């Protein structure tokens, strides 16, 4: 991140932003950070204490290059109208981070760098700012380079993911593929292993459930505030998925999706990751190796994936 | 006509001291900021050497510093001759020389205070400003300077106080010419030669004046403690002056008797 921003100089390599080379060790090219056209949101807000919020926001104003960003839209999206005349030391952590994001955006960058911007915030603030960032991604269509150790954040925000381990590149590709790739489970973490399913919102019922249509069938989950007919991305964690060889009757779970087994990958302990194909989507299920043996699971076997309705959390739904 | 009990010649000394201290603080400020920034932020060959050189006026006896100034800026010395021929500036035995002597003596104090202030500015804020598109000069003017401003003022006040009380280098470099180079401390020294009560009166008023001036410049609650410490320091210096002169006056008085 710091190399892309120009804050540190790599020994070799080449960095291009929006097709324009900003660093090339071979040619001796090194454009300083203030000329690279990037905006950087650090882990700590780094607001200038001797300026009001309004002056902080206006600090980076420079002529727009690729994207013209409307100041009022940013202030509106991030909810900053009431904070404009205050001093940074009177703001809460979440407010400071929102101001920092707005300040980076208002400098009209070609690329926005975010280095774990939500790490220092509590859960409620995290969810709040995450939805702001989703709106920014969708409404501004600004490219963002987002560093995070939290897979749920990535699952909500990312379109492409680059996985790094011990300073080396492990994998890079579309988010939906990488997040449901069982071979990346060691890097992404077992608890976070899961798949993203694309769905369309079809109904809201009075008993507090929403209905989504996926390529494999209907998915029920706790009520989400999505307009009917809108596309939704739902993350289903592997540990919330059960496998049944026969279609279960008289079971409390509402989500029973027919699927085929693609692969089975044993883990280090008693568990095993089973990759399933349901319709056009991939699902991951984490079951014990003993159960897999007992049910004689093997690739190409037709079976059913069972997901508890209430295990799909609101944080896992991207609208 | 005496004013506040001080004769016109004594007022002349006060005025000259103020003038010299003002110009000394003002002229050494840009260089002090530059040197402080270089020592605080940059890594370069000779950094420690620069640090030592800047602190020399603080550790060397003031008369030695004055002598060095005489060797370099005196009328027959190389730099002194160059300044005279090219710009018509004469430093030896003029109030301009007193300004130089006071500036050189006060420089380390000013530089130290400013360096502390610069080191207190968080470099992460400067980094953030860079990523927002501000070049190095803009970062310095809009982020570093406003945040180190209180320390800067403290440095200037410190230098002013030191310049007001500067004696050894001044009297060595530019002697003790009334109206030209007879600053407050030099005047006190001159009056010492004449036994009488003028000294006490003069010393008292000058110390009071200096303390009040510093108190006015630094109201409580705004680096007040630092400023009061400097005012006390200047007062004590003139106090020790007075004590020394008192004992000398006693000796000369007893000799007369």
- The ipTM of this complex is 0.74
Report the pLDDT value the prediction gives residue B219, as an integer from 0 to 100: 55
Report the pLDDT value the prediction gives residue A131, as an integer from 0 to 100: 81
Mean pLDDT over the full length of chain A: 86
Helices (H), A79-191: 93-105, 123-140, 151-157, 175-179, 185-188
**C-alpha pair distances (Å), B208 with each of A271, A311, B59:** 84, 78, 28
- Do B124 and A5 count as a contact with CB atoms less than 8 A apart? no
What residues in B contact A48, CB-CB < 8 Å? Answer: 125, 128-129, 143
- Do A44 and B124 count as a contact with CB atoms less than 8 A apart? yes
Report the pLDDT value the prediction gives residue B246, as an integer from 0 to 100: 56
- Do B127 and A46 count as a contact with CB atoms less than 8 A apart? yes
d(CA A165, CA B112): 46
- Do A5 and B146 count as a contact with CB atoms less than 8 A apart? no
Q: Which of B125, B131, B136 sits opposite A48 (nearest CB)?
A: B125
Query: Closest-CA residue in chain A for B124?
Result: A46
Q: Are the beta carbons of B160 and B25 closer than 8 angstroms?
A: yes
d(CA A15, CA A21): 6
What residues in B contact A110, CB-CB < 8 Å? Answer: none
Average pLDDT rounded to a whole number, residues B247-252: 51
Report the pLDDT value the prediction gives residue A192, as an integer from 0 to 100: 74
Q: Which residue has the higher pLDDT, B195 or A153?
A: A153
| H or E element, residue B71 | helix B62-73
Per-residue pLDDT of A197-231, as tens digits, reads 888 888 888 888 889 898 888 999 888 888 888 88
Indicate the fold that domain A176-318 takes in CATH: OB fold (Dihydrolipoamide Acetyltransferase, E2P) (2.40.50)
Angle of helix B145-165 relative to helix B184-192, nearest 10 degrees? 20
CA–chain centroid gap for A274, Å, is 23
- Do B147 and A5 count as a contact with CB atoms less than 8 A apart? no
Task: Give the closest residue to B176 by CA, choosing from B192, B190, B163.
Answer: B190
Helices (H), B121-223: 123-131, 136-139, 145-165, 168-174, 184-192, 198-217
Architecture of domain A2-175: 3-Layer(aba) Sandwich (3.40)
Instruction: Give the pLDDT band of residue B106 (cuts 50, 70, 90).
Output: very high
Domain boundaries, chain A: 2-175, 176-318
- Do B147 and A49 count as a contact with CB atoms less than 8 A apart? yes
User: Do A2-175 and A176-318 share a fold?
Assistant: no
Average pLDDT rounded to a whole number, residues B157-181: 86
Report the pLDDT value the prediction gives residue B51, as an integer from 0 to 100: 93
> Shortest Cα distance from A49 to chain B (angstroms)?
9
Instruction: Give the pLDDT band of residue A67 (cuts 50, 70, 90).
Output: low
Cα three-residue angle B98-B99-B101, rounded to 5 degrees? 65
Q: Is the pLDDT of residue A317 over 60?
A: yes
> Shortest Cα distance from A212 to chain B (angstroms)?
42
Percentage of residues in chain A with pLDDT exceeding 70? 96
- Do B131 and A103 count as a contact with CB atoms less than 8 A apart? no
Instruction: Give the pLDDT band of residue B116 (cuts 50, 70, 90).
Output: very high
> Shortest Cα distance from A47 to chain B (angstroms)?
7
Report the pLDDT value the prediction gives residue B257, as an integer from 0 to 100: 44
Average pLDDT rounded to a whole number, residues B161-184: 84
- Do A60 and B133 count as a contact with CB atoms less than 8 A apart? yes
Report the pLDDT value the prediction gives residue B243, as an integer from 0 to 100: 58
Pairing of strands A231-237, A241-244: unpaired
Q: Is the pLDDT of residue B104 over 90?
A: yes
- Do A46 and B128 count as a contact with CB atoms less than 8 A apart? yes
Q: How many CA atoms lie within 13 A of B148 on its CB side?
A: 29
Report the pLDDT value the prediction gives residue B250, as an integer from 0 to 100: 55
* Assigned token pair, A221: 């989950």
Q: Which of B128, B136, B147 sits opposite A42 (nearest CB)?
A: B128
How is the beta sheet containing A111-115 ordered, strand by strand?
A38-41, A111-115, A144-147
Asked which of A123-127, A143-147, B239-243 is least confident by mean pLDDT, the reply is B239-243
Q: Are the beta carbons of B132 and B125 closer than 8 angstroms?
A: no
d(CA A213, CA A231): 10
Q: Which of A46, A50, A103 sits opposite B124 (nearest CB)?
A: A46
| H or E element, residue A267 | none
Domain boundaries, chain B: 8-181
d(CA A245, CA A305): 9
- Do A7 and B131 count as a contact with CB atoms less than 8 A apart? yes
> Shortest Cα distance from B48 to chain A (angstroms)?
26
What residues in B contact A49, CB-CB < 8 Å? Answer: 147
> Shortest Cα distance from A158 to chain B (angstroms)?
23
Average pLDDT rounded to a whole number, residues A303-311: 91
* Assigned token pair, A216: 């494999």
Architecture of domain B8-181: Orthogonal Bundle (1.10)
Q: Is the pLDDT of residue B35 over 90?
A: yes
């Amino acid at each position: 991140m710091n190399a892309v921003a120009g804050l540190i100089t790599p020994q070799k390599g080449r960095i291009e932003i929006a097709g324009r080379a900003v660093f090339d060790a071979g040619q001796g090219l090194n454009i300083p950070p203030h000329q690279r056209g990037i905006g950087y949101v650090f882990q700590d807000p780094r607001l200038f204490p001797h300026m009001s919020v309004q002056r902080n926001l206006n600090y980076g104003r420079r002529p727009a290059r690729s994207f013209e960003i409307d100041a009022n839209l940013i202030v509106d999206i991030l909810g900053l109208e009431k904070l404009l005349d205050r001093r940074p030391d009177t703001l809460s952590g979440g407010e400071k981070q929102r101001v920092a994001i707005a300040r980076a955006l208002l400098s009209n960058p070609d690329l926005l760098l975010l280095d774990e911007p939500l790490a220092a915030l509590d859960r409620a603030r995290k969810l709040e700012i995450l939805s702001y960032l989703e709106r920014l991604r969708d409404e501004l269509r600004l490219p963002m380079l987002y560093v995070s150790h939290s897979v749920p954040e990535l699952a909500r925000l990312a379109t492409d993911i680059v996985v790094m381990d011990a300073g080396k590149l492990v994998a890079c590709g579309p988010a939906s593929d990488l997040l449901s790739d069982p071979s990346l489970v060691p890097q992404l973490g077992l608890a976070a292993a899961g798949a993203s399913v694309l769905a369309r919102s079809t109904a809201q019922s009075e008993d507090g459930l929403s209905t989504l249509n996926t390529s494999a069938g209907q998915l029920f989950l706790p009520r989400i505030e999505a307009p009917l007919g809108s596309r939704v991305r739902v993350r289903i964690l592997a540990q919330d998925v059960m496998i049944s060889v026969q279609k279960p009757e008289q079971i409390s779970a509402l989500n029973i999706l027919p699927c085929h087994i693609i692969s089975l990958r044993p883990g280090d302990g008693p568990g095993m990751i089973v990759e399933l194909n349901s319709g056009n989507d991939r699902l991951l299920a984490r079951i014990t190796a003993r159960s897999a043996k007992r049910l004689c699971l093997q690739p190409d076997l037709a079976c059913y994936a069972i997901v508890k309705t209430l295990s799909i959390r609101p944080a896992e739904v991207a609208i | 006509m005496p004013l506040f009990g001080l004769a016109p010649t004594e007022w002349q000394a006060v005025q000259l001291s103020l003038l010299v201290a003002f110009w000394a603080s003002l002229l050494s400020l840009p260089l002090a900021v530059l040197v402080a920034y270089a020592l605080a932020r940059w890594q370069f060959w000779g950094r420690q050497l620069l640090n030592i050189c800047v602190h020399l006026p603080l550790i060397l006896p003031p008369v030695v510093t004055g002598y060095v100034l005489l060797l370099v800026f005196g009328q027959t010395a190389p730099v002194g001759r160059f300044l005279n021929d090219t710009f018509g500036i004469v430093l030896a035995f003029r109030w301009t020389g007193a300004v130089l002597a006071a500036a050189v003596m006060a420089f380390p104090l000013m530089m130290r205070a400013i360096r502390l202030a610069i080191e207190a500015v968080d470099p992460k804020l400067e980094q953030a400003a860079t990523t927002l598109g501000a070049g190095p000069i803009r970062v310095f003017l809009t982020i570093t300077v406003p945040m180190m401003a209180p320390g800067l003022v403290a440095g200037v006040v410190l230098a002013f106080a030191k310049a007001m009380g500067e004696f050894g280098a001044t009297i060595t470099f530019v002697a003790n010419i009334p109206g030209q180079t007879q600053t407050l401390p030099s005047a006190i020294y001159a009056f010492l030669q004449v036994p009488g009560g003028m000294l006490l009166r003069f010393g008292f008023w000058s110390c009071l004046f200096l303390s009040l001036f510093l108190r006015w410049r630094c109201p409580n609650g705004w680096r007040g403690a630092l400023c009061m410490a400097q005012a006390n320091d200047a007062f004590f210096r003139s106090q020790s002056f007075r004590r020394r002169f008192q004992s000398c006056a006693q000796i000369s008085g007893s000799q007369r008797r």
